[in-house]
Amino acid sequence: MRVLVLHGPNLNLLGERDPEVYGRQTLEQLNETIAREASKAGVEVTCEQYNGEGQIVDALHAARKTYAGVVLNPGAYAHYSYAIADAIAAIGIPVIEVHLSNVAGREVFRRTSVTAAACRGVVSGLGAASYRLAVSALVEILSA
Ligand code: DQA
Protein backbone atom coordinates (compact mmCIF):
# COMPACT_ATOMS: atom_id res chain seq x y z
CA MET A 1 0.00 0.00 0.00
CA ARG A 2 1.37 3.40 -1.00
CA VAL A 3 0.59 6.48 1.10
CA LEU A 4 1.57 10.11 0.55
CA VAL A 5 2.57 12.09 3.64
CA LEU A 6 2.12 15.74 2.82
CA HIS A 7 3.54 18.42 5.11
CA GLY A 8 2.37 22.01 4.75
CA PRO A 9 3.91 25.42 5.33
CA ASN A 10 6.71 26.07 7.81
CA LEU A 11 7.12 22.39 8.62
CA ASN A 12 10.46 22.50 6.80
CA LEU A 13 11.64 24.43 9.88
CA LEU A 14 10.87 21.62 12.33
CA GLY A 15 13.60 21.27 14.92
CA GLU A 16 14.26 25.01 15.09
CA ARG A 17 10.68 26.40 15.06
CA ASP A 18 9.01 26.47 18.50
CA PRO A 19 10.64 23.21 19.65
CA GLU A 20 8.61 23.24 22.88
CA VAL A 21 5.46 23.03 20.73
CA TYR A 22 6.61 20.99 17.74
CA GLY A 23 9.48 18.96 19.16
CA ARG A 24 13.16 18.80 18.37
CA GLN A 25 13.05 16.43 15.41
CA THR A 26 13.90 17.94 12.05
CA LEU A 27 11.56 17.25 9.15
CA GLU A 28 14.08 14.78 7.77
CA GLN A 29 14.19 12.90 11.09
CA LEU A 30 10.40 12.97 11.36
CA ASN A 31 10.10 11.57 7.83
CA GLU A 32 12.52 8.76 8.72
CA THR A 33 10.44 7.92 11.81
CA ILE A 34 7.22 7.93 9.77
CA ALA A 35 8.72 5.73 7.03
CA ARG A 36 10.19 3.25 9.53
CA GLU A 37 6.94 2.88 11.44
CA ALA A 38 4.85 2.70 8.27
CA SER A 39 7.02 -0.05 6.82
CA LYS A 40 6.25 -2.19 9.90
CA ALA A 41 2.61 -1.92 8.86
CA GLY A 42 3.50 -2.86 5.27
CA VAL A 43 2.99 0.70 4.03
CA GLU A 44 5.35 2.47 1.68
CA VAL A 45 5.30 6.22 2.31
CA THR A 46 6.51 9.11 0.23
CA CYS A 47 6.97 12.36 2.14
CA GLU A 48 6.65 15.79 0.54
CA GLN A 49 6.60 19.30 2.00
CA TYR A 50 5.28 22.49 0.39
CA ASN A 51 4.90 26.01 1.67
CA GLY A 52 2.49 27.12 -1.06
CA GLU A 53 -1.25 26.52 -0.99
CA GLY A 54 -1.38 25.85 -4.74
CA GLN A 55 1.49 23.37 -4.46
CA ILE A 56 -0.49 21.43 -1.86
CA VAL A 57 -3.59 21.47 -4.08
CA ASP A 58 -1.46 20.20 -7.00
CA ALA A 59 0.11 17.46 -4.84
CA LEU A 60 -3.34 16.30 -3.70
CA HIS A 61 -4.56 16.16 -7.31
CA ALA A 62 -1.51 14.15 -8.36
CA ALA A 63 -1.86 11.80 -5.37
CA ARG A 64 -5.18 10.41 -6.60
CA LYS A 65 -3.43 8.58 -9.44
CA THR A 66 -0.58 7.12 -7.41
CA TYR A 67 -1.51 6.65 -3.76
CA ALA A 68 -4.13 4.74 -1.82
CA GLY A 69 -4.46 7.55 0.70
CA VAL A 70 -2.89 10.71 2.08
CA VAL A 71 -1.75 11.82 5.53
CA LEU A 72 -1.89 15.62 5.44
CA ASN A 73 -0.55 18.17 7.89
CA PRO A 74 -1.94 21.35 6.33
CA GLY A 75 -0.16 23.57 8.88
CA ALA A 76 -1.90 26.94 9.22
CA TYR A 77 -3.82 26.33 5.98
CA ALA A 78 -6.01 24.00 8.03
CA HIS A 79 -7.55 27.06 9.62
CA TYR A 80 -8.69 28.85 6.47
CA SER A 81 -7.93 27.14 3.15
CA TYR A 82 -11.14 26.29 1.34
CA ALA A 83 -9.04 25.53 -1.76
CA ILE A 84 -7.29 22.68 0.08
CA ALA A 85 -10.60 21.54 1.59
CA ASP A 86 -12.11 21.40 -1.91
CA ALA A 87 -9.08 19.48 -3.24
CA ILE A 88 -9.38 16.90 -0.44
CA ALA A 89 -13.07 16.47 -1.22
CA ALA A 90 -12.37 16.18 -4.96
CA ILE A 91 -9.72 13.47 -5.09
CA GLY A 92 -11.73 10.45 -3.99
CA ILE A 93 -9.03 8.83 -1.85
CA PRO A 94 -9.06 8.96 1.96
CA VAL A 95 -7.16 11.81 3.60
CA ILE A 96 -6.37 11.92 7.32
CA GLU A 97 -5.46 15.30 8.78
CA VAL A 98 -2.69 15.38 11.35
CA HIS A 99 -1.22 17.99 13.66
CA LEU A 100 1.87 17.61 15.79
CA SER A 101 0.48 19.95 18.43
CA ASN A 102 -2.91 19.81 20.09
CA VAL A 103 -4.62 22.53 18.07
CA ALA A 104 -7.73 22.28 20.26
CA GLY A 105 -5.75 23.59 23.22
CA ARG A 106 -3.94 26.48 21.56
CA GLU A 107 -4.93 29.93 20.24
CA VAL A 108 -8.58 30.36 19.24
CA PHE A 109 -7.77 30.64 15.51
CA ARG A 110 -6.20 27.16 15.60
CA ARG A 111 -9.32 25.54 17.03
CA THR A 112 -11.09 25.74 13.66
CA SER A 113 -10.05 23.43 10.83
CA VAL A 114 -11.88 23.96 7.56
CA THR A 115 -9.87 21.15 5.95
CA ALA A 116 -10.79 18.59 8.63
CA ALA A 117 -14.40 18.56 7.47
CA ALA A 118 -13.28 17.12 4.12
CA CYS A 119 -11.02 14.50 5.73
CA ARG A 120 -11.90 11.03 6.98
CA GLY A 121 -10.53 11.89 10.41
CA VAL A 122 -8.06 13.94 12.40
CA VAL A 123 -5.18 13.02 14.72
CA SER A 124 -3.87 15.96 16.70
CA GLY A 125 -1.47 16.63 19.53
CA LEU A 126 0.57 13.44 19.60
CA GLY A 127 3.75 14.61 17.90
CA ALA A 128 5.27 12.04 15.54
CA ALA A 129 2.74 9.50 16.79
CA SER A 130 -0.01 11.56 15.09
CA TYR A 131 1.45 10.42 11.75
CA ARG A 132 1.87 6.77 12.80
CA LEU A 133 -1.73 6.61 13.99
CA ALA A 134 -2.96 8.31 10.81
CA VAL A 135 -1.12 5.74 8.65
CA SER A 136 -2.64 2.94 10.69
CA ALA A 137 -6.11 4.52 10.32
CA LEU A 138 -5.62 4.54 6.55
CA VAL A 139 -4.64 0.85 6.62
CA GLU A 140 -7.88 0.08 8.47
CA ILE A 141 -10.02 2.21 6.17
CA LEU A 142 -8.45 0.78 3.02
CA SER A 143 -8.68 -2.83 4.12
CA ALA A 144 -12.29 -2.61 5.33
C1 DQA B 1 0.34 22.45 13.01
C2 DQA B 1 -0.62 23.34 13.78
C3 DQA B 1 -0.94 24.60 12.99
O4 DQA B 1 -1.83 25.44 13.72
C5 DQA B 1 0.33 25.37 12.70
O6 DQA B 1 0.03 26.50 11.92
C7 DQA B 1 1.38 24.53 12.09
C8 DQA B 1 1.60 23.19 12.60
C9 DQA B 1 0.77 21.22 13.84
O10 DQA B 1 1.30 20.27 13.26
O11 DQA B 1 0.63 21.22 15.06
O12 DQA B 1 2.12 24.97 11.23
O13 DQA B 1 -0.31 21.96 11.85
Per-residue model confidence (pLDDT) at position 115: 98
Residue 99 Cα to ligand 1 midpoint, Å, equals 6
Ligand 1 atom closest to the Cα of residue 79 is: 4
Per-residue model confidence (pLDDT) at position 109: 97
| Domain count within the chain | 1
Ligand 1 atom closest to the Cα of residue 125 is: 11
Residue 40 Cα to ligand 1 midpoint, Å, equals 26
Whole-angstrom Cα distance, residue 8 to residue 115? 12
Which helix (H) or strand (E) element contains residue 44?
strand 44-49
Q: Can you tell me the mean pLDDT for 108-119?
A: 98
Per the rule left: phi > 0, alpha: psi between -120 and 50, beta: everything else, 88 is alpha
Residue 78 Cα to ligand 1 midpoint, Å, equals 8
Q: Summarize pLDDT for 65-91 with one digit per residue, the tens.
A: 999 999 999 999 999 999 999 999 999
Whole-angstrom Cα distance, residue 13 to residue 52? 15
Instruction: Give the pLDDT band (50/70/90) at residue 96.
Output: very high
Ligand 1 atom closest to the Cα of residue 10 is: 12
Give phi and psi for 120, each to the nearest 5: -75, -30
Q: Which residues are marked as active site?
A: 22, 99
Q: How many residues does the chain have?
A: 144
Give phi and psi for 131, each to the nearest 5: -70, -45
Domain CATH code at residue 56: 3.40.50.9100
Residue 47's beta-bridge partner residues?
Answer: 5
Residue nearest atom 9 of ligand 1, based on CA coordinates: 99
State the residue range of the domain holding 89.
2-143
